């Protein structure tokens, strides 16, 4: 596996002075896995803020106390996506928009890394853009098992564009993966075999790109006559080298789970506004999937069911707790399910799995 090297200062210095982010609040919700667990078992929560992003970190694995917020300045940041690799490194992908001297927008995709829980970010590096006129969507990302970062964006032609690292750490040029009519960013999953699969919704149905081997080219897109609501796609590996894709079914407005070669299974629930948060975990000795989303009334909904056992039913629980954007899911250092939200006032809050059978959550803790 290719190993990254952090500089001697970046590896030892925390972000800013203690309390630097005090008084700041989140301006929205990040995309991707914005609630991460480090190698030391501590959780970290990230959220966009005016002029950059905010970070809160557990002081000990399993909580309940958190430090932060710490503020990281990223002038011009308009979209933030967080992804984490198997090595524990957290990667930040952003859409940055600044103004040129002539008043026209200058848009690019930027990337930074946090190597260790609670410590500094690397410098933000520009990855450019496949469309200099600024017509580029929110970035989606994934980290391959060898640590190479893959960045996907919807291009100005409505298809999918990719920029990825080479094994030597240098960035390749933008690649056109083709397709057209994409309604939003794709869902990307890294499988245990090392391959990636990408799913996107389009006006004509659902499009799939697949790697034939780890690090290889992406074949596709292959189209399927399925109706996924734009902006609701998520993905998870649910069996060795097999992905399940989740979305809100456009016609019925309920959650659906689908694997290549089969028909979508309707899971119930209500219509989601953004991608589902997906967590595979053990509940009472059973291999289960936990889903969470924000419904159209602005409240979070939590659901659970057996992994690849949709016919046995899926159970949903509406939570009377307003939030903006979608929720996040993770397991803490004690293995408990943790759900995170951003309150409408910009304050994050978390609830943890209570002891006992099933999945019930504690009272919300505001950070």
In this prediction the pTM is: 0.93
236-262: b or e for each residue (b if 16 or more CB lie within 10 Å)? bbbeeebbbbbbbbbeeebbbbbbeee
Bond before 89 cis per omega within 30 degrees: no
pLDDT in tens for each of the 367 residues of the chain?
343 433 322 333 333 333 377 789 999 999 999 999 999 999 999 999 999 999 999 999 999 999 999 999 999 999 999 999 999 999 999 999 988 888 777 899 999 999 999 999 999 999 999 887 767 878 999 999 999 999 999 987 889 999 999 988 899 999 999 999 998 899 999 999 999 999 999 999 999 999 999 999 999 999 999 999 999 999 999 999 999 999 999 999 999 999 999 999 999 999 998 999 999 999 999 999 999 999 989 999 999 999 999 999 999 999 989 999 999 999 999 999 999 999 999 999 999 999 988 899 999 999 9
Q: Which residues neighbour 23 within 8 Å (Cβ) at sequence distance 6 or greater?
A: none
Q: Do the Cβ atoms of 166 and 172 come closer than 8 Å?
A: yes
Residue 134 confidence (pLDDT): 65
* Residue 207, beta-bridge partner list: 200, 223
Residue 73 confidence (pLDDT): 96
Q: How many CA atoms lie within 13 A of 317 on its CB side?
A: 11
Cα→Cα distances 243→208, 257, 307, Å: 11, 10, 11
User: How many CB atoms are located within 10 Å of the residue 27 CB?
Assistant: 18
Q: What is the bridge-based pairing of β-strands 105-114 and 90-99?
A: antiparallel
* Interatomic CA distance for residues 77 and 127, integer angstroms: 14
Give me the helices (H) in the chain, please.
none
Residue 18 confidence (pLDDT): 35
* Interatomic CA distance for residues 316 and 360, integer angstroms: 12
Q: What is the pLDDT of residues 271-308, one digit of tens each?
A: 998 999 999 999 999 999 999 999 989 999 999 999 99
* Residue 81, beta-bridge partner list: 31, 93
Domain segments of the chain: what residues? 239-367
Q: Residue 276: which of 335, 224, 320, 236 has the closest Cα?
A: 236
* Residue 249, beta-bridge partner list: 228
Q: ∠ at Cα 220 (130, 139), nearest 5°?
A: 35
Residue 300 confidence (pLDDT): 96
Output phi, psi for 221, to 5 deg.
Answer: -80, 150
To the nearest 10°, report the CA torsion of 201, 205, 206, 210. -120
């Amino acid at each position: 596996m290719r190993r990254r090297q952090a500089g001697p200062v970046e590896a030892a210095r925390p972000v800013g002075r203690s309390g630097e982010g005090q008084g700041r609040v989140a301006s929205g919700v990040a995309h991707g896995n914005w609630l991460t667990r480090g190698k030391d078992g501590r959780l970290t929560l990230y959220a966009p803020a005016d002029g950059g992003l905010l970070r809160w970190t557990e002081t000990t694995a399993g909580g309940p106390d958190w430090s932060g917020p710490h503020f990281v300045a990223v002038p011009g940041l308009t979209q933030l996506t967080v992804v984490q690799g198997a090595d524990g490194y957290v990667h930040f992908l952003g859409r940055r928009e600044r103004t040129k001297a002539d008043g026209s927008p200058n848009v690019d995709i930027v990337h930074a890394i946090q190597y260790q829980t609670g410590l500094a970010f690397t410098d933000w590096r520009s990855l450019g853009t496949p469309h200099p006129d600024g017509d580029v969507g929110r970035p989606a990302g994934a980290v391959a098992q060898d640590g190479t970062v893959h960045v996907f964006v919807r291009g100005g032609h409505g298809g999918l564009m990719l920029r990825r690292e080479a094994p030597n750490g240098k960035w390749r040029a933008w690649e056109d993966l083709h397709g057209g009519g994409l309604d939003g960013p794709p869902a990307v999953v890294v499988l245990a075999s090392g391959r990636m699969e990408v799913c996107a919704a389009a006006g004509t149905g659902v499009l799939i790109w697949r790697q034939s081997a780890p690090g290889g080219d992406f074949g596709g897109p292959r189209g399927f006559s399925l109706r996924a609501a734009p902006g609701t796609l998520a993905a998870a590996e649910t069996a060795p080298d097999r992905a399940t894709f989740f979305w809100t079914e456009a016609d019925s407005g309920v959650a659906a789970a689908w694997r290549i070669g089969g028909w979508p299974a309707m899971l119930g629930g209500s219509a989601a506004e953004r991608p589902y948060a997906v967590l595979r975990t053990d509940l009472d000795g059973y291999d289960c999937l936990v889903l969470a989303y924000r419904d159209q009334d602005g409240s979070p909904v939590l659901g659970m069911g057996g992994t690849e056992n949709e016919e046995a039913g899926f159970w949903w629980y509406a939570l009377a707790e307003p939030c903006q954007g979608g929720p996040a899911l993770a397991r803490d250092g004690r293995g408990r399910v943790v759900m995170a939200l951003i309150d409408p006032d910009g304050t994050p809050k978390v609830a943890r799995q209570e002891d006992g059978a099933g999945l019930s959550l504690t009272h919300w803790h505001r950070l």
